Chains A and B, each alone.
Chain A
Amino acid sequence: MSIEITAADEVIVLAQVGGMLRELLEEYGLDDAEIAMDTTFHDDLELESVDLVALSGQLREHYGDRVNFATFIAERDLDEIIALTVGELVRYIVASLRATA
Chain B
Amino acid sequence: MSRIRAGELDVHVQRLAPETPLDGDAPIVVCVHGLLTDSLASYYFTLGPAFAARGFDVLMYDLRGHGRTTRPESGYRLEQFVDDLVAVLDACGVTRPVHVVGNSFGSSVAFGLAAARPDRVASVVAIEGEPPTEEWTRHMADGLADAKTRLAVDEVIGWIEANHGAHTARLSKAANRILQTTTIAEDIPRSATIAADLSAVRCPVFAIFGGDSGLAAQVPHFEASLERCRTVVLPDQGHSVLVERTAETIELIFEWVRDTSRDAVRVR
Measured CB to CB, the residues of A under 8 A from B are 27, 42-43, 46, 48-54, 56-58, 70-71, 73-74, 78, 81-82
**Are A81 and B39 in contact, with the CB atoms below 8 A?**
no
Known: A42-B167, A50-B12, A53-B40. Is A78-B45 also a contact (CB below 8 A)?
A: yes
Distance in angstroms between the alpha carbons of A43 and B52 in the assembled complex: 31
- The answer to the question of B14 belonging to the interface, with a C-beta cut-off of 8 Å to chain A, is yes
A43 / chain B contacts, CB cutoff of 8 Å: 166
How many chain-B residues does the 8 Å CB contact rule pick out?
24
Q: Which 7 A-B pairs have the closest CB atoms?
A: A49-B41, A50-B39, A50-B67, A50-B41, A57-B2, A70-B49, A53-B44
**Are A78 and B68 in contact, with the CB atoms below 8 A?**
no
Q: Can you add 19 more A-B contacts, CB < 8 Å, to A49-B41, A82-B167?
A: A42-B167, A48-B39, A48-B170, A48-B171, A50-B12, A50-B68, A53-B40, A53-B41, A54-B1, A54-B2, A57-B1, A58-B1, A70-B16, A70-B48, A70-B49, A70-B52, A73-B45, A74-B50, A78-B45
A-B contact pairs, 16 of them (CB 8 A): A48-B39, A48-B170, A49-B44, A50-B62, A50-B68, A51-B68, A54-B1, A54-B12, A56-B14, A56-B44, A57-B14, A58-B1, A70-B44, A70-B49, A73-B45, A74-B50
B62 / chain A contacts, CB cutoff of 8 Å: 50
Known: A42-B167, A70-B49, A82-B167. Is A52-B41 also a contact (CB below 8 A)?
A: yes
Distance in angstroms between the alpha carbons of A71 and B50 in the assembled complex: 10
B140 / chain A contacts, CB cutoff of 8 Å: none
Distance in angstroms between the alpha carbons of A98 and B17 in the assembled complex: 25
Distance in angstroms between the alpha carbons of A49 and B40 in the assembled complex: 9
